Amino acid sequence: MDRRQQKTRQAVFHAFSSLLEKKNFNNITVQEIIDEANVGRSTFYAHFETKDSLLKAMCTDIFQHVFSDDLKQENSHDFSHAGHDIQKEITHILYHLQDNRKNLKGLLSCDSGDIFMGYFKEYLEQAFPIFIKEIHCDVPADYLLNHVVCSFSETVRWWITKHEQYTPEQIAAFFIQCVLKQG
C-alpha cells in the first residue's frame, strides 16, 4: 500500500482516538478530525465514507491483530479441544488487546465504546462456543453464549478503561472464576 495512504490512515486513526478520549463520538465533527489529523477534507472522504465507517475500520484493524492467527487455528480442530488450557488462551487474547491499548482506550471511551463492544461481541460469538461446551447449565444455549460473550467483553472494558494495573493473567483469572467456574 502507498506510504502516503498509510500515513493518512494512521494520522486519522490517531486523531480520532485522541478526540474520543475527550468527547463523545456523536459530538465529534469530521472537521475536528480533519484539523486534529492535519489532512485535507477531500482526503478524509477519499479514505472513509462516514464517521461511522471510520470507527468500524479502527475496530477491524484491532480485531485483525487480536484474532489473527491463533484462534482460527483453534477453531479448525476444535474436536481436540477438550483438554486445552482455556486460561492460557484467554490470557493470550488479553495480551493482544493490551498491545493495542493506546487506540483501545479511545475506542472504549464514552459512547464509541458501545460500538466497539458490538463488533467485539460479533467476533467473540464465533470464537467462544468452544469454551462453553464444558459448562453444564440448565439454560438455553444461546442465553449461555450471550452471557459468556458479554461477560468477557465487559471484563475487557472494565480492565482497559479503569483498571489497567492488573496483568492479563489476573484478568483471565477473574473472568474464569466468575463465569466459567460453574459449580
Partner DNA sequence: TTGTTATCAAACATTTTGTTTTGTATCTAT
Partner DNA sequence: ATAGATACAAAACAAAATGTTTGATAACAA
Q: State the greatest distance between any 2 C-alpha atoms of the chain, in Å, as a whole number.
A: 58
Q: Is 59 in the site for a second copy (CB under 8 A)?
A: no
| Helix, strand or coil, per DSSP, at residue 24 | coil
Indicate whether 111 belongs to the interface with a second copy (CB under 8 A): yes
CB of 147 to a second copy, least distance (A): 5
Binding partner of residue 150 among DNA, a second copy, none, CB under 5 to 8 Å per kind? a second copy
- Calpha distance 163→148 (Å, rounded): 20
C-alpha grid cell for residue 78? Answer: 476444535
Binding site for DNA (CB under 7 A): 2-5, 7-9, 29-31, 38-43, 45-47, 49-51
Which one of DNA, a second copy, none interacts with residue 117, CB within 5 to 8 A by kind? a second copy
Angle CA 62–66–70, to nearest 5: 150
User: What are the grid coordinates assigned to 126, written together?
Assistant: 464465533
CA 111, CA 126: separation in Å to the nearest integer?
A: 24
- Applying CB under 8 A, the residues found at the interface with a second copy are 26, 52, 111, 114-115, 117-118, 137-140, 143-144, 146-147, 150-151, 154-155, 158, 163, 173-174, 177-179, 181-183
